[in-house]
């Protein structure tokens, strides 16, 4: 790789690091080519990209960014997962890949301005997805008007129960 290619690579990687809400550094030592191809194929539907990188060039790309804390983890075989806009779905997909390929190991990650360890990346994968959060928000928004309606209907409902009980009491008294 000549100097111009290195500069281009550093700029491209810096843009990917800055443009991804979730970045996962993984060790893939011992994985076969077919296992790595399977990982890449699994990433495509989610808009996630997996890239094996040169450590020294990635360290240069991280200088002066929020992700600079990841520099210490660029040792040995490093593959980088750059997530799409849906970081949670990307993390869930990667956790599924780790279960199917035991040779993949999380070194570190970056999410929402924080450097994460392997447990932190797993925690991100356990967060509810965007669709689940939207469903929770919708239920929360509907709950207030539903409760107000219940309060408004309570006096009429209570009067109906009172009259029904009175009717039952009168029927019981007339049967005796």
Question: Average pLDDT, stretch 6-12?
Answer: 86
Q: How many Cβ atoms sit within 10 Å of the Cβ of residue 172? A: 9
Asked whether the CA dihedral 6, 47, 49, 16 is positive or negative, the reply is positive
Q: What is the DSSP letter of 44?
A: G
Among the listed residues 49, 60, 52, the one whose alpha carbon sits nearest the alpha carbon of residue 8 = 60
Pairing of strands 22-27, 105-111: antiparallel
What pLDDT digit, counting tens, does each position of 27-48 carry? 888 888 888 888 888 888 888 8
What pLDDT digit, counting tens, does each position of 51-88 carry? 888 888 888 888 888 888 888 888 888 888 888 778 88
Q: Is the pLDDT of residue 176 over 70?
A: no
């Amino acid at each position: 790789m000549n100097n111009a290619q290195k500069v281009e690579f550093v700029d491209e990687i810096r843009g990917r690091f800055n443009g991804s809400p979730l970045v996962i550094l993984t060790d893939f030592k011992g994985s076969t080519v077919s296992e790595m191809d399977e990982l890449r194929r699994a990433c495509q539907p989610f808009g996630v990209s997996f890239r094996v990188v040169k450590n020294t060039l990635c360290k240069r790309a991280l200088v002066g960014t929020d992700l600079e804390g990841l520099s210490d983890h660029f040792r040995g075989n490093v593959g980088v997962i750059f997530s799409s806009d849906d970081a949670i779905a990307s993390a869930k997909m990667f956790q599924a890949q780790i279960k199917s390929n035991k040779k993949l190991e999380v070194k570190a990650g970056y999410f929402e301005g924080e450097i994460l360890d392997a447990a932190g990346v797993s925690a991100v994968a356990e967060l509810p997805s965007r669709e689940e959060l939207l469903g929770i928000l919708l239920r929360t928004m509907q709950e207030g008007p539903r409760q107000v309606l219940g309060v408004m209907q309570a006096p009429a409902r209570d009067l109906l129960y009172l009259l029904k009980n009175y009717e039952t009491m009168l029927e019981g008294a007339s049967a005796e």
